Amino acid sequence: MKPAVIAMPGNEQLADELAAVLSLERAAATVRRFPDGESHVRIEAPVAGRAAVIVCTLDRPDDKLVPLLLLAAAARESGASSVGLVAPYLPYMRQDRQFHPGETISAQHVGSWISRYVDWLVSVDPHLHRIADLSQVYSVPSSVVHAAGSVATWVKANVPNPLLIGPDEESAQWVGDVAQRAGAPFAVLTKTRHGDRDVKVSVPEVERWRSHTPVLVDDIVSTARTMIETVSHLRRAGLAAPVCMAVHAVFAQTAFEDLLAAGAADVVSCDTIRHASNRISLTAPVADAVRTRLR
Ligand code: R5P
């Protein structure tokens, strides 16, 4: 029997693409809210004896987690032989340590909640900083898709004479990888975050790169303060208006508009979160990872 692909609301396009690429069957489900705000989920297709794959990217996660976990439970109780989760954006990974007394390491709790309901996980470049590997927070087997190859291909095809720039030390390895694949030089900045929207970056001797097109790359853009601060520094140093690239286009509130207004030449993202800036499809590598998990 073919595995069944179930989309959480908003994830229909990736679910359709995965079904087409992997010859899986799309299975309908209802996910709605009762008038009192509680979630009601229902699997609308026979999944007994079949592997179920739920597709749900997890930006703005607080509204999605409860229905997602209920849907995974419903699939299992309907007889699915296994329940997998494709979550191109994995939330709470930046809350990876107790920064202040009284806080908790949210990444660990969210990882353990999801791990109780699914048998495997596929995600794209989760924010792995102080957590070195997903297995430290997810107890189920997981596959991580890396966007670096697709980002590098886009840069090569679209940016003349690029200089890849990482906004902080954490990004060094990732930016270096993209730069190497794109055959371009790279620089990494020093970032200090003083608050949610208070970010300072320092730029190394950028003057020698004036003939290049700066390409800022980061895994997540949320408030865009990191990128906005970097764009301002680069412009003051006399560099060309940079292309800003992110894997995960979270873009809180007016962040996208703010970044364009700050002088970004273009804003480009991968399609892990649906957004106007999506220009790079990761369906093919995500499908490869799902295929492996379904074997
Ligand atoms: C940081 O740890 C991440 O890699 C990004 O640099 C960060 O999430 C960007 O956040 P924001 O857009 O809010 O500055």
Query: What digits encode the pLDDT tens for the residues 245-292?
Result: 999 999 999 999 999 999 999 999 999 999 999 999 999 999 999 999
| In a domain? residue 58 | yes
- Does residue 196 sit in the same domain as residue 241? yes
184 in a structural domain:
yes
Which of 220, 223, 228 is the best mutation target for the ligand 1 pocket, counting ligand atoms within 8 Å of the beta carbon and taking the most?
Answer: 220
pLDDT tier, 204 (very low <50, low <70, confident <90, very high otherwise): low
**What's the 80 CA to ligand 1 centre distance in angstroms?**
38
Determine, yes or no, domain membership for 154: yes
Residue 27 reports pLDDT greater than 80 = yes
Q: Averaged over 56-74, what is the pLDDT?
A: 98
Same domain, 138 and 11: yes
Containing structural domain, residue 27: 4-146+282-294
- Ligand 1 surroundings by CB, under 6 angstroms: 94, 167-168, 170, 199, 218-226
Can you tell me which atom of ligand 1 is nearest the CA of 228?
14
Give how far Cα 158 sits from Cα of 203, 215, 256, Å. Answer: 24, 11, 21
In a domain, 234, yes or no: yes
Tokens of 54: 């739920």
Domain shared by 286 and 172, yes or no: no
Q: Is residue 276 part of a domain?
A: no
Three-class secondary structure of residue 274 per DSSP = coil
Helix, strand, coil share (%) of the chain residues, nearest 5: 35, 25, 40
* Same domain? 163 vs 131: no
pLDDT at 237: 83
55 has a pLDDT exceeding 80: yes
Same domain, 73 and 107: yes
CATH number of the domain that residue 75 is part of: 3.40.50.2020
Q: Which residue has the higher pLDDT, 210 or 106?
A: 106
**How many angstroms separate the alpha carbon of residue 97 from the centre of ligand 1?**
16
Buried b (16+ CB within 10 A) or exposed e, 81-97: ebbbbbbbbbbbbbbbe
Task: State the chain's mean pLDDT as an integer.
Answer: 95
Same domain? For 20 and 133 the reply is: yes
For ligand 1, the distance from its centroid to the CA atom of residue 31, given in whole angstroms, is 31
Q: Give the residue whose CA is nearest to atom 2 of ligand 1.
A: 94
From the CA of 221, how far away is ligand 1's center (Å)? 6
- Give yes or no: residues 194 and 66 share one domain: no
Across the range 114-122, mean pLDDT stands at: 98
The reply to whether 80 falls in a domain is yes
Per-residue model confidence (pLDDT) at position 208:
81
pTM over 0.85: yes
Whether the predicted pLDDT of 206 surpasses 70: no
In a domain, 277, yes or no: no
Same domain, 114 and 190: no
Helices (H), 97-182: 106-117, 148-158, 172-182
Residues 72 and 160 in one domain: no
Mean pLDDT of 39-44: 98
Q: Do 25 and 48 belong to one domain?
A: yes
3-state secondary structure of 80: coil
Does one domain contain both 166 and 33? Answer: no
Domain count, the chain: 2
Same domain, 23 and 100: yes
Mean pLDDT (whole number) for 66-76: 98
pLDDT digits (tens, 9 = 90+) for 148-202: 999 999 999 999 999 999 988 888 888 999 999 999 999 888 877 778 877 777 7
> 215 lies in a domain?
yes
How wide is the angle at C-alpha 179 spanned by C-alphas 265 and 171, nearest 5°?
80
Q: What is the reported pLDDT for 169?
A: 82
